[in-house]
């Protein structure tokens, strides 16, 4: 994989459903994987930074896992709420200062 890919591109879930989406990134020369949440009319907000294979991070109902050997990360949201509606971005960093962002997954949580 040359670029960072995210799937699905968008999804709609009902309030209370749990959901997950995927970020795929080049596994060679991996340094760190970042997740951001971008709500409409707001700035992207950092959720997690993960560096080690097998890392798991959790913030409230949101958690993420990392597999650096195969080059993917999952983001999970348990019991989705309308305020979780946002675009979720992942970004891979190979070292230095630069990030390569995926196109994002747009989540809509319907009440």
Partner 1 sequence: DVKVTQSSRYLVKRTGEKVFLECVQDMDHENMFWYRQDPGLGLRLIYFSYDVKMKEKGDIPEGYSVSREKKERFSLILESASTNQTSMYLCASSPTVPTYEQYFGPGTRLTVT
Which residues of this protein are in contact with partner 1, per CB under 8 A?
3-4, 9, 32, 34, 36, 41-46, 49, 89, 91, 93, 97-104
Q: Which is nearer to partner 1, 35 or 80 (CB)?
A: 35
Smallest gap, in angstroms, from Cβ of residue 81 to partner 1? 23
CA dist 45 and 25 (Å) reads 20
For tokens 């305020």, the residue is 83
In whole angstroms, the minimum distance from the beta carbon of 103 to partner 1 comes to 5
Closest contact distance (angstroms) between CB of 17 and partner 1 is 25
In the complex with partner 1, the residue whose CB is nearer, 17 or 101, is 101
Dihedral angle computed from the Cα positions of residues 61, 84, 54 and 8, in that order, rounded to the nearest 10 degrees: 140
Residue 95 vs 111, nearer CB to partner 1: 95
């Amino acid at each position: 994989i040359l670029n960072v890919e995210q799937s699905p591109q968008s999804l709609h879930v009902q309030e209370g459903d749990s959901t997950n989406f995927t970020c795929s990134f080049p596994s060679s020369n991996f340094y760190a994987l970042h997740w951001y949440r971008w709500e409409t009319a707001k700035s992207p907000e950092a959720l997690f930074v993960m560096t080690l294979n097998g890392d798991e991070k959790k913030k409230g109902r949101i958690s993420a896992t990392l597999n650096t050997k195969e080059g993917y990360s999952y983001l999970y949201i348990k019991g989705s709420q309308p305020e979780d509606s946002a675009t979720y971005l992942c970004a891979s960093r190979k070292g230095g200062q630069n990030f390569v962002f995926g196109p994002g997954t747009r989540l809509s949580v319907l009440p």
